[in-house]
A and B are shown apart, each in its own frame.
Chain A
């Protein structure tokens, strides 16, 4: 069951500030292209600005300095709120940066110091609503389904939400216990989701562990992938570029040393939705993926219009 309260609060039509994240911008531009494609298709207005900087989460994650996060987040929000009242992001890292900053700001010492630093810039810590792009997709799922020109044909997909999506349950669609909204998206667009036991587990990235303790990171990815493969999945759907990177690249390595039987494509939800809305597969940046996405692309089919006869209301409206 999705969090209806949050669903109601997601503005269906924007306008949004589309947060520019470094990892998508510099490594997975296909996710950005797909995200913009979807917003354009749905005729939703969005803004970007060169006055925006990085989110600050990687630096908090390494140096454990709360101020670098709160100051960057506070400054960015002060910049962005001039464009739109809501921020959209297709990255769990940027997403959790905003929420983590809000948590740290509850500490009076952190809040005071942050206020002082931002004051020197003539800025203040402003609050904006952060919306994960996956949530937005769910909000507009019916429109997307109606506007879709392709369908996901029968490929079995496992969803990996990523730990940081679940940090702020009141402002997210699902809880870590048994999330299901992305599975619903898959099914609605003609695909078939599979459940697996390690769904709520980490991808292996571990903030610094993929670099600092590589063997630990690989071991966790291995567990995750084997659970996914055991469930019979043929592709993995993610909502975060970091999860995409780790699950995709680590699978290649794990396959080479035979710790997993096969490697399967990893797709970001923006890419999947853009494709059913008619985006060209050449424009999704798949050249940056390590595991070949061909099995996934091959499963996408033209949507056949089934004619089941006119309904009474349709007849009525056509006569108007």
Chain B
């Protein structure tokens, strides 16, 4: 059982947290204007990265705050955690790689 660093509370037991899937998948600004395919990508498609991955986590049995994390999906190790109101150091880079894999 891992210790996960909540950016608000500090290290806490894994069981206090909820996984929220891939980070930086924003709700489209104008859903009515996107194509069915683009919408389907937002709703159904997520990256399945081996290695460093930007993810969302929620400290659901603690402060109940959502935060982002960079985690290695192969080793499970957390590299860093980020408050939502803080700069997201890896967001741009990961978002770009995501776009390049989209059709």
Asked if A and B are interacting partners, one says no
Residues in B lying within 8 Å of A, measured CB to CB: none
